[in-house]
Amino acid sequence: MPFTPLHMGPGLLIKSFLHGSFSLMVFGWAQIVMDIQPLFVMLSGEGHLHGFSHTFLGATLLGLFAALSGKYLAEFGLLLLEISNKENPVKILWWVTCLSAFIGTYSHVLLDAIMHGDVELFYPVNTARPLLGLLSTGDLHKFCIYSGLAGTGIYYFVLYKLNNVSQQ
């Protein structure tokens, strides 16, 4: 799958259902963290494209890193976007950070395992590729795009409904 943007589609759908219990910024950071190793391989021509980072064990370790670093990066990003301010900063709870980071890394591995033949989910225990070809590449891309569109629509519909309820 192309780099991070298509992975954001399912994240948008999850955000539409979990709202404040899910950080889309931490999820997005986890997507970037997951693709650092493949980017390095593409630039250097050295190594295994979807290596250790694209296993459940690698995703767990990268999820920890994404959570520990992503909480502070996301809170800073909210300040930059003026969604938060210094007088009344938005704080992302640790459990929300961890949930978002791990959903990010595990969903990344699962989506990539469907289309990339070199993703070994259970390495080093097993090199089976049970998800490979579950969907065609085109259908996988459509799933990501449509889930992003649906998630965006649902998110704003819920916000609209909540604002109407609170104004009554």
Q: What is the pLDDT of residue 1?
A: 52
Q: What is the pLDDT of residue 164?
A: 84
Q: What is the pLDDT of residue 3?
A: 63
For the segment 20-73, what is each residue's pLDDT rounded down to a tens digit?
999 999 999 999 999 999 999 999 999 989 999 999 999 999 999 999 999 999
Amino acid at 89: P
Both tokens assigned to 126:
């097993």
Mean pLDDT in residue range 86-94: 93
CB 73 within 8 A of CB 31: no
pTM value > 0.85: yes
